[in-house]
Amino acid sequence: MNINSFKDKFLNEVQFDYELARFTWFGVGGRAEILFIAEDLMSLSNFLNNKPKELNLLIIGAGSNLLIRDKGFKGIVVLTKKLNKINIDENHIITAEAGATDADVARFARNNIRGGLEFLLGIPGTIGGGIKMNSGAFGSEFKDVLIDVKAINHSGKFRTFTNKELGMNYRSIKISKEWIFCSARFQTFKDQKINIENKMKQIIALRREAQPTGVKTGGSTFKNPVGKKAWKLIDKAGCRGYNIGGAMISEKHCNFIINSKKSTAQDIEDLGEYVKDKVKKTSGIDLHWEIKRIGTK
Ligand SMILES: Cc1cc2nc3c(=O)[nH]c(=O)nc-3n(C[C@H](O)[C@H](O)[C@H](O)COP(=O)(O)OP(=O)(O)OC[C@H]3O[C@@H](n4cnc5c(N)ncnc54)[C@H](O)[C@@H]3O)c2cc1C
């Protein structure tokens, strides 16, 4: 299908030239050429089956790990937030769609008195973003609890990947970028509700203590280098509280950049690059971005 017929066919299901800042935690970013909010997996599959190959695709979950550049994204942005069903089967396996929030999945497991997913409460993303990033907190990561993942590619073909096939490592996975995660199955274990609730309370308390809350941020900006903490290297480089435009290194957690005063995406990216440079000069270590920077430069 060519681009014009595609646009005509999905005229009532897409938005054109749509501002993306509202879909990211940083609250910055330009516009999407085409925005599609998937209502369910069938509509996503139908959409992808018709998508012209030459149009780029970007998936946004909760936008908590994304820096979308000010010039926006040329192509299609798909939002997964309505793919948010969660259920449990007779073997106590929990299945969650990609747009379900990690916190909702943690609470669902608690309500069903199943342990192992408490750490999800500490990650402000969706299941899809969590798989892509192999996100983790408080000693657990997606890799530890995932059984398998149902995914669809850019042509609408479905496939299931086992945990092993995903090739998950620290904040990364190995499978091709063409796969969009639809749903995931999680292993849980029997526990007492009071234990689960206590773990969750502890997670909330630890987050409040260690991280800035109620601010526009993308979480950890850089991955921790092997055996080191990125925040310590950034602190040593003298960057705590440093700002470029409206973007600032958090006083509370040096690996967090905050959009403190109407920052642009450019301010945030420039600040990150400044910090990288300073750390290289003071510690000789190369930091690598954990936040995904996407869009036209
Ligand atoms: C305050 C704060 C605290 C945080 N704390 C933590 C933490 O403790 N541990 C941690 O690991 N991270 C943390 N993060 C980062 C972030 O929450 C995680 O990386 C999260 O898993 C991202 O999920 P998301 O849905 O927001 O993904 P998005 O930011 O929307 O997207 C991230 C990447 O995943 C891709 N993606 C999203 N959905 C899909 C899908 N369905 N299929 C394929 N690709 C997809 C996107 O295209 C993009 O490349 C924090 C962020 C913030 C703002």
**Where along the chain do its domains lie?**
3-79, 86-209, 212-294
Report, as an integer, the average pLDDT of 272-286: 98
Mean pLDDT of all residues belonging to the chain:
97
Å from CA of 66 to ligand 1 middle: 7
* Residue 171 among the catalytic residues: yes
> For a substitution probing ligand 1, which of 37, 76, 133 has the most ligand atoms within 8 Å of its CB?
133
Q: For 41, how many CA atoms within 13 A lie in the half-sphere containing its CB?
A: 16
pLDDT value, residue 263: 97
pLDDT value, residue 15: 96
**Contact predicate 212/279, CB 8 Å:** no
Which atom of ligand 1 lies closest to the CA of 213? 1
Contacts of 202 by beta carbon, 8 Å cutoff, 6+ apart:
none
* Ligand 1 surroundings by CB, under 6 angstroms: 25, 58-66, 80, 98, 122-126, 128-130, 132-133, 135-137, 180-181, 211, 217-219, 292
* Residue 69 among the catalytic residues: no
* Residue 208 among the catalytic residues: no
pLDDT value, residue 1: 79
Question: Rounded distance, CA 68 to CA 296, Å?
Answer: 9
Q: What are the tens digits of pLDDT across the range 90-124?
A: 999 999 999 999 999 999 999 999 999 999 999 99
Q: What are the tens digits of pLDDT across the range 213-245?
A: 999 999 999 999 999 999 999 999 999 999 999
The dotted CATH code for 212-294 is: 3.90.78.10
The fold of the 3-79 domain, in CATH, is 3.30.43
The fold of the 86-209 domain, in CATH, is 3.30.465
Q: Which two tokens stand for residue 31?
A: 């516009």
Q: What are the tens digits of pLDDT across the range 170-218?
A: 999 999 999 999 999 999 999 999 999 999 999 999 999 999 999 999 9
pLDDT value, residue 85: 98
Å from CA of 4 to ligand 1 middle: 32
pLDDT level of residue 2 (50, 70, 90 thresholds): confident
pLDDT level of residue 3 (50, 70, 90 thresholds): confident
CA 128 to chain centre: 7
pTM for this structure? 0.97
Å from CA of 1 to ligand 1 middle: 32
Question: Rounded distance, CA 36 to CA 188, Å?
Answer: 33
Q: What are the tens digits of pLDDT across the range 14-37?
A: 999 999 999 999 999 999 999 999
